[in-house]
Amino acid sequence: MAYVSPAEEIAPGERTGRFRIGGDQPVLDADGRSRISVEDMAVALIDEAELPRFVRRRFTVGY
């Protein structure tokens, strides 16, 4: 089991497959925004379910 904290801004968009994963702190882009598309968030969740890296820990995803 893992705990996921989504980015501050999560909205439908493009699936890029290019996102970063962080721990307890939000992942920020070059403009200081914490954001992710719903499509990339789904990929990150499936990746974690298939190959757990954050067992009993929280992670976040963003660009």
DSSP code of residue 8? S
Q: What is the pTM of this model?
A: 0.87
Question: What would the pLDDT profile of 8-57 be if each residue is shown by its tens digit?
Answer: 999 999 999 999 999 989 999 999 999 999 999 999 999 999 999 999 99
Q: For residue 41, give the nearest of 7, 49, 57, 31 by alpha carbon.
A: 7
Cα–Cα distance list, 45 to 2, 30, 31, 32, 62 (Å): 10, 23, 24, 23, 12
Q: What are the residues whose beta carbons fall under 8 Å from the beta carbon of 32, sequence distance 6 or more?
A: none
